[in-house]
Amino acid sequence: MYYLDFQKNKIRNRFNLEKTKLVKIITINSDSLASNSYFTYNNNQSIIGNSAIIRDAIELISEQNLLKLKK
């Protein structure tokens, strides 16, 4: 699982999120991003996106803003 800091990148604007600080990404296929990939924010509010949307989101996050907490 990864936590993303939306204060330090542009993903919040892309997905029209409120000013949330931490976002937990769940269930992202490591081989190829599946069509049912999604991430949750603000206590289980989910955004479901196709592989292109999720891939774009991941690419916008720099390594320094990605905090690995658990696997």
Q: What is the pLDDT of residues 4-30, one digit of tens each?
A: 444 444 455 555 555 444 444 444 443
Structural domains counted in the chain: 1
Residue span of the structural domain in which 11 resides = 2-68
Q: Please tell me the distance from the alpha carbon of residue 25 to that of residue 4, in angstroms, as a whole number.
A: 8
9 in Cβ contact with 23 (< 8 Å): no
Look over the chain and give the mean of its residue pLDDT values, rounded to a whole number.
Answer: 47
Predicted pLDDT of residue 15: 53
- Name the token pair of 17: 């999120």
61-64: long-range contacts at Cβ-Cβ below 8 A with a sequence spacing of 24 or more? 61/4, 61/9, 61/11, 62/9
